[in-house]
Chains A and B, each alone.
Chain A
Amino acid sequence: MTQDEWLKGKAAVVGIGHTAYGRRGQFVERGSFSLVIEAVQKACDDAGIDPRDIDGWTSYSNDVNQGGLLAAAFGTKRLRFTGMGWGGGGGAMGGAYLYAAMAVATGQADYVAVVRGVTMPDNGRFGRMGTTEGPPYGLMTPGQAFALAARRHMYRFGTTTDDFAQIAINARLMASKNPDARFRDTITLEDHHNSPIICDPLHKLDFCMESEFGTCVILTSAERAKDLKQPPVSLLSAAMGAPPRWGDAMFGGWGGGDENVGGQYAPDDDYVTGGHRTVAEDLYAKAGLGPNDVDVAEIYDHFTPMVIMGIEDFQFCKKGEGGGFVSDGKIGLGPGQLPLNTHGGNLAEVYAHGMTHVFEAVRQIRGTSYNQVPDAEVALVVAGASMAPTSAMLFGK
Chain B
Amino acid sequence: MSERMPGFGAPHLTALNEGYWKAAGQGRLVIQRCDDCGTHRHVPVEICYQCHSRNWHWDEVPGTGRVFSYTWVDRPLSPELAQAGVYNISVVELDGVVGTIRLLTNVFGVDKDTLECDLPVKVAFDRVDDEIALPVFEPAFALNEAERVSAGKVSA
When distances are taken between beta carbons in the complex, the residues of chain B under 8 Å from A259 are 12
A260 touches B17 (CB 8 A): yes
Kindly supply a per-residue 1/0 record for chain B positions 84-122, scoring 1 wherever the CB is within 8 Å of any chain A CB and 0 otherwise. 100101010000000011111110000010001110000
Closest chain B CB from A133 CB (angstroms) = 4
Q: Does B142 contact A (CB under 8 A)?
A: no
Q: Does A297 contact B (CB under 8 A)?
A: no
Between A140, A141, A201, the greatest number of chain B beta carbons within 10 A of the residue's beta carbon is seen for A140
Between A144, A151, A152, A252, the greatest number of chain B beta carbons within 10 A of the residue's beta carbon is seen for A151
B102 touches A263 (CB 8 A): yes
Q: Which of A144, A152, A155, A245 sits near B73, CB closer than 8 Å?
A: A144
Q: Which of B84, B102, B105 sits near A265, CB closer than 8 Å?
A: B102
Given the contacts A148-B69, A200-B71, A257-B45, A141 and B77 also touching, CB distance less than 8 Å: yes
A137 touches B134 (CB 8 A): yes
The answer for the CA separation of A137 and B12 in the assembled complex, in Å, is 13
A138 touches B45 (CB 8 A): no
A200 touches B89 (CB 8 A): no
When distances are taken between beta carbons in the complex, the residues of chain A under 8 Å from B76 are 138
When distances are taken between beta carbons in the complex, the residues of chain B under 8 Å from A152 are 68-69, 117
Q: Does A181 contact B (CB under 8 A)?
A: no
Q: Look across to chain B and name the residue whose beta carbon is closest to the beta carbon of A260.
A: B11
Given the contacts A148-B89, A262-B104, A267-B100, A137 and B8 also touching, CB distance less than 8 Å: yes
Interface size of A by CB at 8 A reads 39
B11 touches A136 (CB 8 A): yes
The answer for the CA separation of A135 and B7 in the assembled complex, in Å, is 8
Q: Which of A128, A200, A265 sits near B72, CB closer than 8 Å?
A: A200
Q: Does A288 contact B (CB under 8 A)?
A: no
The answer for the CA separation of A267 and B49 in the assembled complex, in Å, is 14
Closest chain A CB from B133 CB (angstroms) = 10
Q: Look across to chain B and name the residue whose beta carbon is closest to the beta carbon of A155.
A: B117
B8 touches A136 (CB 8 A): yes
Closest chain B CB from A306 CB (angstroms) = 14
- Residues 224 to 283 of chain A near chain B (Cβ within 8 Å): 245, 252-253, 257-265, 267, 271
When distances are taken between beta carbons in the complex, the residues of chain A under 8 Å from B7 are 134, 138
Kindly supply a per-residue 1/0 record for chain A positions 335-379, scoring 1 wherever the CB is within 8 Å of any chain B CB and 0 otherwise. 000000000000000000000000000000000000000000000
When distances are taken between beta carbons in the complex, the residues of chain A under 8 Å from B71 are 144, 147-148, 151, 199-202
The answer for the CA separation of A264 and B81 in the assembled complex, in Å, is 23
A265 touches B101 (CB 8 A): yes
A134 touches B100 (CB 8 A): no
B69 touches A258 (CB 8 A): no
A138 touches B106 (CB 8 A): yes
B70 touches A263 (CB 8 A): no
A136 touches B43 (CB 8 A): no
When distances are taken between beta carbons in the complex, the residues of chain A under 8 Å from B100 are 265, 267
Given the contacts A258-B16, A262-B43, A136 and B103 also touching, CB distance less than 8 Å: no
Between B17, B42, B77, the greatest number of chain A beta carbons within 10 A of the residue's beta carbon is seen for B77
A137 touches B106 (CB 8 A): yes
Q: Does B37 contact A (CB under 8 A)?
A: no
Closest chain A CB from B103 CB (angstroms) = 7
When distances are taken between beta carbons in the complex, the residues of chain B under 8 Å from A72 are none
B69 touches A149 (CB 8 A): yes
The answer for the CA separation of A198 and B73 in the assembled complex, in Å, is 6
When distances are taken between beta carbons in the complex, the residues of chain A under 8 Å from B49 are 245
Kindly supply a per-residue 1/0 record for chain B positions 50-73, scoring 1 wherever the CB is within 8 Å of any chain A CB and 0 otherwise. 000000000000000000111111
A196 touches B80 (CB 8 A): no
18 contacts across the A-B interface (CB closer than 8 A) = A134-B78, A135-B8, A138-B5, A138-B7, A148-B69, A151-B69, A152-B68, A196-B75, A200-B72, A202-B71, A258-B14, A262-B43, A262-B103, A262-B104, A263-B42, A264-B91, A264-B104, A265-B102
Query: Which 10 pairs, one residue from A and one from B, show the smallest C-beta to C-beta distance?
Result: A262-B104, A147-B71, A134-B9, A252-B104, A200-B72, A260-B11, A155-B117, A263-B43, A257-B43, A152-B69
- Beyond the given pairs A135-B9, A138-B8, A144-B71, 15 more chain A to chain B contacts, judged by CB atoms under 8 angstroms and listed by A's residue number, are A131-B12, A134-B7, A136-B8, A136-B10, A151-B69, A197-B74, A198-B74, A199-B73, A199-B89, A200-B73, A245-B49, A258-B14, A258-B17, A263-B103, A264-B69
